[in-house]
Amino acid sequence: MKFDPARVREAAGEDFDAAWQRGKEYVEVPPLNRRYPRRVSSYGRPHPIFDVIGRLREAYLRLGFDEAANPVIVEDAEVKKQFGSEALAVLDRCFYLAGLPRPDIGISDERAGQMKTILRRDLTTEEVEGVRQILHGYKKGTVEGDDLVHEISAALGESDALVSTLIEEVFPEFEALAPVATTKTLRSHMTSGWFITLGGLAGMAPLPLRLFSIDRCFRREQSEDAARLMTYHSASCVVMDEELSVEDGKIIADGLLAQFGFQKFRFLPDDKRSKYYVPDTQIEVYAYHPGLVGSSTKYDTGWVEVATFGIYSPTALSMYDVPYPVMNLGLGVERLAMILYGATDLRALTYPQFVQDPDLSARVMAMMIRVQEEPQTPAGIEIAQAIVRTCDLHGDEPSPCEFEAWKGTVSGRKVVVKVVEPEENTKLCGPAANNEVLVYKENILGVPKTAKWEAAFEDGVTTGMRFIDSFAELAARKAEDAALRGEGSETRVRIVRGPGDVNLRLGPALERYITSRKRKIDVRGPVFTTVRSEVVE
């Protein structure tokens, strides 16, 4: 809270210790939902794919590669030049781009009449001719499709909404348009872009040329499943120099993948023998990662295929007038991310809507347990704190008994709040009042701080809320509401059988998580506490 430094200095001069003690008055004590761990310093989490992309970029840059951007849209003629006899198989996996043809639309007398009916006015010869010229410009490409409605609206002096209706009803040619395929494809391999880039740089850039690119590729799969998607990220590099060999690929593969914790490598010939590589230079890279040994993934031996490299064939390079050898290495980002994150389903790794049952840490679970009803005013917050202090101080007092917890003003009315127990032969508060809510082994427990539960408090994560804490906030809220009406209130808790009985709620995601994992919510016990508020003169 803000304070007056001059008054504090004056008070300290008169009685330093008393002024120092009063310093607590300036420190806010927030309601439970605004306390840790329900309120934390939040931070964002990177997406696994983009996290690995960032790490790959840094790894390539550390190896001395320059970053490049390769063409994403590639003419199918380029694919035929690059892949030779394999081009048909490659193109079968490609997405071809299509576009809507621009129709040649005229304005007959009949259509001019339809326009007059929709606009509910006569059209001048100049207005009809203006629309005709706009439609002609659209056909020729001088008027873009997203400007068509606006251009006609300006020519007629009418609203865009009315012109949209006019176009739909008078010119059905637009509605009947169907896409027409072009010869352009979406890149299915990063290689498709590398040949075009290398062709433009050969003879211009100094050697050795070392480039990398991490970007999307697209493949027309029959379906998407746990192992394949129609779009993926390729992390690819090329080295162009006068002297290159397979050994250069091994060196780069080791230097790149060692930065991700891989420690040993095996290089085996790839049986695919793609025609854009020199025969016997297409190599699969198998790497060993100690973190995978004994894991629940298919890589439990520690060995995994992570990359492929090869020397581009002179027959393909010659199509682009590239006179130098080129080594190309590539790996799938998603595949590497699955290894590093221990994922088994590529869809769940990539798209959040496929995540069925995300793991929740004990800390996150504790954050998802909150108070249902809480005081809304500073006086209400004081009431809740006073109830807790009273119960802590007098909870073991034999009944019948009554203790005043708080006196003050709420909504302009003087209010007294008491903790009471009218029945005989019991105590002000029941034995479970001090049970604390915590997360232990994915279970939600409400337990006392005793030797029996020492492990739960040591290894679990507490919410910092006891039964009496959350109940006190409910009692304070009811006292606030009653005072606003000029009435008193009585709030009582007896046997607790679940979180709701002591004013606690679990987030729906947490309840679903506990149910799906067959964990338990064990929040129960005898609390037997009553709080009354009265409006007094």
Annotated binding site for substrate: 189-191, 234-236, 276-277, 328
**Binding-site residues:** 189-191, 234-236, 276-277, 328
Q: Is the Cβ–Cβ distance between 125 and 109 less than 8 Å?
A: no
Tokens representing 327? 């080594």
Which residue in 520, 517, 496, 529 sits closest to 392, CA to CA? 529
Q: What angle do CA 310, 312, 318 make, to 5 degrees?
A: 175
* Vertex 121 angle, CA 116 and 126, to 5°: 75
Q: Say which residues have a Cβ less than 8 Å from residue 32's Cβ, sequence separation at least 6.
A: 38, 370, 371, 374, 464, 465, 469, 470, 473
Could you write out the DSSP letters of every residue in 291-349? GGTT-SSTTTTSEEEEEEEEEBPHHHHGGGT--S-EEEEEEEHHHHHHHHHT-S-HHHH
Contact 309, 327 (CB under 8 A): yes
**34-64 burial by CB neighbour count: b if 16+ within 10 A, else e?**
eeebbeeeeeeeeebbeebbebbeebbeeee
Distance of CA 143 to the CA centre of its chain: 39
Task: Give SS3 for 285.
Answer: strand
Instruction: Tell me whether the omega of the peptide bond preceding residue 400 falls within 30 degrees of 0, making it cis.
Output: yes
Cβ partners under 8 Å of residue 282, min gap 6: 269, 270, 272, 273, 274, 308, 309, 310
Do 170 and 119 contact (CB within 8 A), yes or no? no
* Whole-number Å distance between alpha carbons of 4 and 6: 5
Three-state DSSP class for 250? helix
